[in-house]
Amino acid sequence: MRIVIAGAHGQIARRLGRLLSARGDSVTGIVRNPDHRADLEADGTAPAVLDLEQAGVEDVAAVVSGADAVVFAAGAGPGSGTGRKDTVDRAAAVLLADAAERAGVRRYVLVSSMGVDLVADGAQPDGVDEVFTAYLRAKLAAEQDLLAREALAVTVVRPGGLTDDPGTGRVTLARHADRGSIPRDDVAAVLLALLDAGRDGAVVELVSGDTPIDDAVRSLP
């Protein structure tokens, strides 16, 4: 496979890039900071330096052309304000979708977040600060935009709280899951299994559990 990962220097994205490249897949990673190229190259990922907050559709389409799938794993990150939650977590995801459509790439995997349902229909969740609420709104808006596109087969993965614990290879993967956490290792492994499965779309929540990853992906409706 040839996979293009947006936000390729992120912790989940780098894990996914290493998994793909280790078995011989071709991986291209979109990053904003040219200083991150060496890290990606060490992972076996070919870097493409492109700022998704500034790039045009044609720029991104040129990178994703010929890919079997694209993965959006970018995020504004901790310390960013409400504005960048929108320009990265929503607008950049939409730009990647526009580019995928332009390049004829059908499969799109979006890394979203558990909790987006809390802000559905403009709801204001109790006890959630303004910035995290903006993050959830941006993720939900990206999901809604992508899932409405007939030209794309979109799989949305909503992980729970992320940890750096070693992966266990066992998860709960379902349309609705109880709140929980999950190692980043296992999130990357689930993304890999979903890419291998060639699914024609799904929206799933992901936390640690008892089911082996391959079985959890196979059992999805």
Establish whether 108 is a catalytic residue. Answer: no
3-state secondary structure 77-92: CCCCCHHHHHHHHHHH
Whole-angstrom distance, CA of residue 49 vs CA of residue 63 = 10
Closest CA to 106 of 174, 63, 57, 155: 155
Q: Looking at the DSSP assignment, which residues form a beta bridge with residue 28?
A: 4, 46
For 105, half-sphere exposure in the C-beta direction (CA atoms, 13 angstrom radius) is 26
For 108, phi then psi, to 5°, come to -140, 125
The torsion angles phi and psi of 120, rounded to 5 degrees, stand at -60, 145
**Which of 135, 171, 191, 195 does the annotation list as catalytic?**
135
Q: Which residues are catalytic?
A: 135
